[in-house]
Each structure stands twice: as C-alpha cells, then as structure tokens.
Amino acid sequence: MGYANQRFDVNLSILFTELPLLERPAAAAAAGFSAVELWWPWVATPTPPQDELDALAASLKDAGTQLVGLNFYAGKLPGPDRGALSVPGEESERFRANLDVATRFAESTGCTALNALYGNRVEGTDPAAQDELALENLVLAARAADRIGAKLLLEALNQPESPRYPLLGAAETVALADRVNEASGLANATFLMDLYHLSMNGLSTEDLYAAIDTHAARTGHVQIADNPGRGAPGTGSLPLEALLDRLHAAGYTGWTGLEYKPGDRPSADAFGWLPAGLRAARS
C-alpha cells in the first residue's frame, strides 16, 4: 500500500527555508503540495503585528495551500529553545500572550491543529513546579484551541538533540494528554507522533510498531524524517513506508507532516521519493 494511503503536508519551517516566509507556500504548491504546517514563524515575539499575520494568511490563500498545523510560540526554533509553557517567568507569560494570537490566526486560515511544545527543564527550578505550571498552561491552550474547534497536539522530542526537554516517550506524552483532558473537561488534547524523534530516543523498528499499535487512536498528527540525518525518506535507515502502512492499518487517517532537512540541495528537489500524484491533499 505504502505512501498512497497517506495525506502529506510540508513543514515550511524546515523545508523551503532558503526562501522568504511569504514565498514558501507558493513554492510548496509548485512542488505539488496543497497542505502545509508551520512552527510559530515569529521566533522573537508571540504577538507579531497584525499586518504580518494578514500577509502570511494571504500568501497561504493565494498559493492555494491549506495550513493544517501550527505551533504555539515556543522560543527560537530550530535552536536551544524547546517550548515556553513550562518555563517560569517571562517565557510562560509570552506563551500565554500568544494563545489568542495563534488561535485567531489558525481560525483565519482554517487550521485545526495547534502544537504546544512542553518546555525545557530550567536549572535551579523544581521540576514539579514546572510540571504544575505546564498543566495550567496546557489547559489554557486546550480551551483556546477548543474555542475554534481545533485539537491540541503534545509532542515528544528526543534526548540527544533536546537533553533538557522532559517528554521523550509516547506513553508519557499520551498520559499527559489524558491529564490535560481531565483538567480541562475537554477531549481535544492528542499525541503528535514524530517517528524521527521516537527513533532518536533509541526505539527499534519493532518498538516503533508497538508505539503505533498502542497509541494510534490517540494520535492527532504525525511527522516524519529519516534517521540518521533527519533527511528525506530513503536517506537513512528508518522503514518509513512500512511504519506509515502500520499507522494506516491501526486506523490513523490524519496528516503526516514532512519535517525533514532537504540537505545540500534546494527544497524543491527533496521530494523525489514521493510520486507527484501523491503530494496533493486527497479526501
């Protein structure tokens, strides 16, 4: 079956970054894709000027691309920051200031999935206090997302690249989603299953299959890159086609985000593994 059963979108925060932000939707469309996702594009501020928000929304619309996933403000990505919502003080306040801005932008573009990166451990701060703050902010995020009919995504990262990030496994991330749903009284907190990050944490292929079988029903979004190298499928050793087949067999029908590095070539040349007829969104 393979890739024909998937709905792929392109992450415009890691692909097509050789182009200005407002040119990336059209570049993705020219490569054959009709769906995209983004990390929070304004890494320096959770509250960018409205005209910049409007310009990005217009570029998505003009390109005919649907925004299917958006990160809340999470600091500087890529880089040492990994979220703000569990970081006491200014960063947590910046996250809260972003909630309304991000959800209004998501609503204006038809985006229905918002990713809240947990946040690094802070030296000298009680982890329990960070976890308490995180739950408070995740409940606020879940309620903000719910107001526009969106789901909240919670993502596990990997220890080698994000050593201070505490969510490193599928089971603990799904358990956190359950706590958020219980505390919020909602049911919109779901798992973002990033197969690259899970594999970087040492999961074997069989472990990845087990994670898929166990957690597919709680998965709200999937992201892929090959390992090693975080490149396109086929550049490493992950059996991504078989893993996505397993996800489909387990009942997952959502989006799969292409969140890989293009390597030493233009991003438009990094999709040779995927036939052109399988790139546009299908119902």
Kindly give the confidence (pLDDT) of every residue in the chain, 283 residues in length, as a single tens digit, with 9 standing for 90 and above. Answer: 579 999 999 999 999 999 999 999 999 999 999 999 999 999 999 999 999 999 999 999 999 999 999 999 999 877 777 899 999 999 999 999 999 999 999 999 999 999 999 999 999 999 999 999 999 999 999 999 999 999 999 999 999 999 999 999 999 999 999 999 999 999 999 999 999 999 999 999 999 999 999 999 999 999 999 999 999 999 999 999 999 999 999 999 999 999 999 999 999 999 999 999 999 986 5
How far from 229 is each of 232, 263, 275, 276, CA to CA, in Å? Answer: 9, 9, 22, 24
Q: Which residues are catalytic?
A: 155, 259
* Domain locations along the chain: 2-278
This prediction's pTM: 0.97
Say if strands 151-155 and 66-71 run parallel, antiparallel, or are unpaired. Answer: unpaired
Question: According to the CATH classification, is domain 2-278 in 3.40.50.920?
Answer: no
Q: Please tell me the distance from the alpha carbon of residue 107 to that of residue 264, in angstroms, as a whole number.
A: 35
